[in-house]
Amino acid sequence: MSIEESNIANLPTKYGEFRIKAYKDGNQEHLAIMSQDFEQIDAPYVRIHSECLTGDTLGSLKCDCRNQLELSLQFIAKNGGLVIYHRQEGRNIGLLNKVNAYALQDLGRNTIEANIELGFAEDERDYRVVKYIFENLALKKLKLITNNPAKLKYVESLGIEIVERIPAIIKANKYNELYLSTKKEKMGHLI
């Protein structure tokens, strides 16, 4: 795996002041968004946030993505740590297919059924670049901000100690109730 790295740059935001570093893996580019004191923290708070253009940028109410991202950035700005912005849109099926999955969800499919009907697994994400970022930033132990048991298992499989799991619980709305219940009941999310 050949990954290109950027330099580290400052990123002042409405959540706080961060430093960022980009990683390019093939045609996907990912971000490490670090608190100013990241290197001094023994077990930093870490969020692996999967890209969601419709939620993160457009404010879609069909998911909880933007709220989880904002919660994580606010928390990291206050408590120190890292957000990995993992750019694998729609669980790595891409934006076009994600919109097609949305259309199937409009017809009553849940998020898993829609992906499968389109010929994908329920989750197509590849976390190899996350491993690379962890190694690049010399992470040995962390406090993981997640509801996703697959992310917990993946991080543990890398030999990284998870000191604590911090839930990222977001209040449901009428547009994302099915999505959240599917994540809980079918994917085992800890919500």
Catalytic (active-site) positions: 123, 125
Q: Cα–Cα distances in Å, from 133 out to 16, 53, 127, 130, 140?
A: 22, 22, 10, 5, 12
76 carries a ligand binding annotation: no
Residue 63 annotated as part of some ligand binding site? yes
DSSP code, position 48: E
- Structure token pair of residue 135: 């190694």
Q: Residue 138 has what DSSP assignment?
A: T
d(CA 90, CA 168): 19
- 165 appears as a binding residue in the annotation: no
Question: How many other CB atoms are there within 10 angstroms of residue 166's CB atom?
Answer: 18
48 is in an annotated binding site: yes
Query: In the numeric block, which tokens belong to residue 185?
Result: 């009941």
Q: Which residues of 38-48 are buried (b: 16+ CB within 10 A; e: fewer)?
A: beebebbbbbb
Q: For residues 74 and 15, is the Cβ–Cβ distance under 8 A?
A: yes
65 is in an annotated binding site: yes
**5 labelled binding-site residue:** no
Max CA pair span of the chain: 50
14 annotated binding-site participant: no
Q: Is 146 annotated as a binding residue?
A: yes
Q: Amino acid letter at 97?
A: N
30 marked as binding residue: no
Binding residues for GTP, as ranges, are: 47-51, 68, 89-91, 111, 146, 151
Q: What are the binding residues for Zn(2+)?
A: 52, 63, 65
Q: Which residues are annotated as a binding site?
A: 47-52, 63, 65, 68, 89-91, 111, 146, 151
